[in-house]
Structure 1
């Protein structure tokens, strides 16, 4: 069974007649397999609601933060060109695909959910790019130039990940629309954009403001590095 067939089967199991359609993303030249918007214009029954809450099919939407990050990468290709990039919590793979299209030397889509990785595979094929895949960020070596991240801070319990990103990459680029009191000594605000999840979920206006944050790993002071080398 192909990745797309796997996704279609999983989605139909959650939402009855729901299906994935080849969908152009606004403001980009990218396309993703996303849930047909017509499936959203109806009331869900009790069983469907329960299944959605238990296993949310987030991989069949392009969330606002991912869309903003993909657009920004397309407009700033030098940020990824020639670099080794890992997309953490890749979901549909939109940011990873944008990085590959922008000339990254290597892009790995990383997600715990096997269905998300299947979505990344199907969407990479749809856009004619090659991605690597990983189900375990912490099993990855510290070899990446850039970690890209979109919409993973919806749960404040995930905030410590901001430090972990810099244990696998020299830089991190985070897109978020949920944390209003974002404060981290290593992360600086780059810009804020407006976008909506696609298909549009009619989310509250506050979640349509997406902020990009950038961080670089702090190198040890030269004197400390010399001292360590001298005692090695």
Structure 2
């Protein structure tokens, strides 16, 4: 892993995958179906293979981080939650913009380690939790930030009810997303749009439009 500046976000540096890191193989492994002998007993002690989402800047997280850095008043003096934090790009931006406290929630154990390293690389303090906070009540924060969490149906099914509970508790919700399949479009109000590289893409690649939204109560 190499510490490099994020495209379109020169203020933030992350430990990032590169061709020599071999992390791309994990993405390819998880994207393919693995044939398993129906008679074989599952190995319960085997580690679960997860794509290294934390090793790349996702478009939704990048635009949300850019928005926060351009408008620090969005988070200044507030307690914020970076939900599904991945690399921590959104939480790091919030800390740099003057948030009073930043909590980064990430259930992947490798992502939890990456969050600590990336926060240190940027000289900011972030509280990291490896718990699935979507299963419980809203945390004691003022703002929830969700960068690129609507890429899969099962994830969206967990995240959306949690965000509704946050709204009901008076907590604001910001979403950054390039238009993934399970984005709750009818619940969103666009705040800004930027062009950034998408997941795993770096400098020199085509810029794609991604947006920052306010998540609104149902029926509004």
SS state at 1:62 partner: coil
The CA deviation string for residues 119-155 of structure 1, in whole angstroms up to 9 with x for no partner, is 1100000000000111221346542111001111001
- Residue aligning to 2:107: 112
Normalising by structure 2, report the TM-score: 0.75
Cα gap change, 1:140 to 1:100, in 2 (>3 Å)? farther
Q: Distance in 2 between matches of 1:147 and 1:48?
A: 28
The CA deviation string for residues 189-211 of structure 1, in whole angstroms up to 9 with x for no partner, is 22222111365279x97x93212
Matches within 5 A, 1:49-68: 49-50=28-29, 54-68=49-63
Q: Distance in 2 between matches of 1:213 and 1:48?
A: 28
- Residue aligning to 2:172: 171
- Residue aligning to 1:22: 3
Cα gap change, 1:201 to 1:154, in 2 (>3 Å)? farther
Q: Could you tell me whether the CA contact under 8 Å between 1:192 and 1:212 is conserved in 2?
A: yes
Name structure 2 gaps, 5 residues minimum: 33-48
Q: Could you tell me whether the CA contact under 8 Å between 1:23 and 1:31 is conserved in 2?
A: yes
- Residue aligning to 1:212: 212
Which is worse superposed, 164-173 or 80-89?
164-173
Q: Could you tell me whether the CA contact under 8 Å between 1:67 and 1:95 is conserved in 2?
A: yes
Q: In the alignment, is residue 76 of structure 1 matched against residue 71 of structure 2?
A: yes
Cα gap change, 1:55 to 1:30, in 2 (>3 Å)? same
Q: Distance in 2 between matches of 1:174 and 1:189?
A: 9
Q: Distance in 1 between matches of 2:190 and 2:92?
A: 23
- Residue aligning to 1:145: 142
Q: Distance in 1 between matches of 2:67 and 2:113?
A: 24
Name structure 1 gaps, 5 residues minimum: 1-19, 219-232
- Residue aligning to 2:15: 33
Larger radius of gyration: 1
Which is worse superposed, 52-61 or 123-132?
52-61
RMSD (Å), alpha carbons: 3.0
Structure 1 or 2: more helix by fraction? 1
Normalising by structure 1, report the TM-score: 0.72
Count residues with an aligned counterpart: 192
Q: Could you tell me whether the CA contact under 8 Å between 1:144 and 1:168 is conserved in 2?
A: no
Q: Distance in 2 between matches of 1:216 and 1:57?
A: 31
Cα gap change, 1:216 to 1:50, in 2 (>3 Å)? closer
Q: Distance in 2 between matches of 1:123 and 1:147?
A: 20
Q: Could you tell me whether the CA contact under 8 Å between 1:191 and 1:213 is conserved in 2?
A: yes
Structure 1 segments of 4 or more deviating over 6 A?
none
